[in-house]
C-alpha cells in the first residue's frame, strides 16, 4: 500500500520538499524507460522500436523505475515492460476475487483454486477518511480511501490529486489506479513503488 502523504504534497512537492518522482497510470502505456526528474531527459521508444529522447517535463501518466525499484507490496507487479499493475487472485470454482494468497477460498472454501488475476486500473470510490494525525514524518492531512475496482477487487490506499476537503470528494466518483515511487528508501538504497488512486481523468 502507498505510504501516507498529503495529496497537495504529492502533486506539488512530492512529499517532503521534493517534486514528485513519478506518477503512473496503468491505462496508459507510454513505454518510458527513464524519467528521473523534470529537468532530465526522457527516453521513449516509438512504435517502430527506435529510441528517441526528449527534454519535456515528466507528464502525469509516466512512471519512473530504476534498476533497484521494488514493489512496496506483493499486489504491485512490475513486469519487464515496466508498466506496473495490481495482481489479485480469482477462485476458479466460484469466481471470488481476493487480494492476498490464502490456502482456501474465503467464499466457497475451495482449496488450491486461486489463479493470478490482473486487476482493473479503474473503479469507484467506496469510502474515504481525511487523516489529520499520523506518525512523525508523515505529512497531514491526507485522504485514506477504499475503492471498488471494475471487474472485482477492493483496495485501500491514499487518494491523491484532490484537496483533503470533504466538499471536493464524492463517494462513487470514478477513480484511476496510479503508481508512484515513494519518497523513502531502505538502508540499501532501494526505492519502492506504491499504488494510489486519483480522480479519473
pTM (global) more than 0.75: no
Q: Identify the CA nearest to 75 among candidates 174, 155, 152, 185.
A: 155
Which residues are CB-neighbours of 92 under 8 A, at least 6 positions away? 110, 113, 114, 115
**What is the distance, to the nearest Å, from the Cα of residue 48 to the centroid of all Cα atoms in its chain?**
29
Q: How many CA atoms lie within 13 A of 138 on its CB side?
A: 16
Helices (H), the chain: 7-12
User: What pLDDT, on the 0 to 100 scale, is given for residue 66?
Assistant: 66
**The CA-based dihedral angle spanning residues 194, 180, 13, 156, taken in that order and rounded to the nearest 10 degrees:** -50
Tell me: the pLDDT tens digits for 48-86?
A: 333 333 333 333 334 456 667 788 888 999 888 778 999
Cβ atoms within 10 Å of 148's Cβ, excluding its own: 17
In this prediction, residue 42 has a pLDDT band, given cuts at 50, 70 and 90, of very low
Cβ atoms within 10 Å of 27's Cβ, excluding its own: 13
Q: Are strands 69-71 and 191-199 parallel, antiparallel or unpaired?
A: parallel
Average pLDDT, the chain: 74
**The CA-based dihedral angle spanning residues 179, 14, 143, 184, taken in that order and rounded to the nearest 10 degrees:** 70
Give the separation between CA 155 and CA 125, rounded to whole angstroms: 10
Tell me: the pLDDT tens digits for 117-147?
A: 999 999 999 999 999 999 988 889 999 999 9
- 3: helix, strand or coil: coil
Give the separation between CA 31 and CA 38, rounded to whole angstroms: 17
Tell me: the pLDDT tens digits for 149-180?
A: 999 999 999 999 999 999 999 999 999 999 99
- 55 contacts 63 by C-beta, under 8 angstroms: no
Give the separation between CA 199 and CA 190, rounded to whole angstroms: 29
Amino acid at each position: 500500500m502507498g505510504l501516507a502523504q498529503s495529496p497537495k504534497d504529492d502533486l506539488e512537492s512530492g512529499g517532503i520538499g521534493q517534486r514528485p518522482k513519478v506518477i503512473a497510470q496503468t491505462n496508459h502505456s507510454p513505454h518510458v524507460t527513464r524519467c528521473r526528474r523534470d529537468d532530465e531527459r526522457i527516453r521513449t521508444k516509438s512504435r517502430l522500436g527506435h529510441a528517441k529522447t526528449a527534454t519535456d517535463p515528466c507528464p502525469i501518466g509516466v512512471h519512473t523505475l530504476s534498476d533497484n525499484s521494488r514493489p512496496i507490496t506483493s499486489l504491485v507487479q512490475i513486469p519487464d515492460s515496466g508498466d506496473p499493475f495490481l495482481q489479485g487472485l480469482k477462485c476458479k470454482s466460484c469466481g471470488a476475487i481476493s487480494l492476498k494468497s490464502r490456502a482456501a477460498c474465503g467464499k466457497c472454501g475451495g482449496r488450491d483454486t486461486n489463479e493470478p488475476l490482473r486487476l482493473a486500473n479503474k473503479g469507484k470510490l467506496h469510502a474515504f477518511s481525511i487523516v489529520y494525525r499520523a506518525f512523525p514524518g508523515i505529512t497531514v492531512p491526507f485522504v485514506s480511501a477504499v475503492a471498488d475496482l471494475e471487474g472485482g477487487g477492493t483496495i485501500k490506499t491514499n487518494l491523491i490529486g484532490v484537496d483533503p476537503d470533504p466538499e471536493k470528494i464524492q463517494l462513487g466518483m470514478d477513480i484511476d489506479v496510479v503508481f508512484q515511487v515513494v519518497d523513502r528508501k531502505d538502508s540499501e538504497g532501494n526505492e519502492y513503488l506504491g499504488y494510489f488512486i486519483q480522480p479519473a481523468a
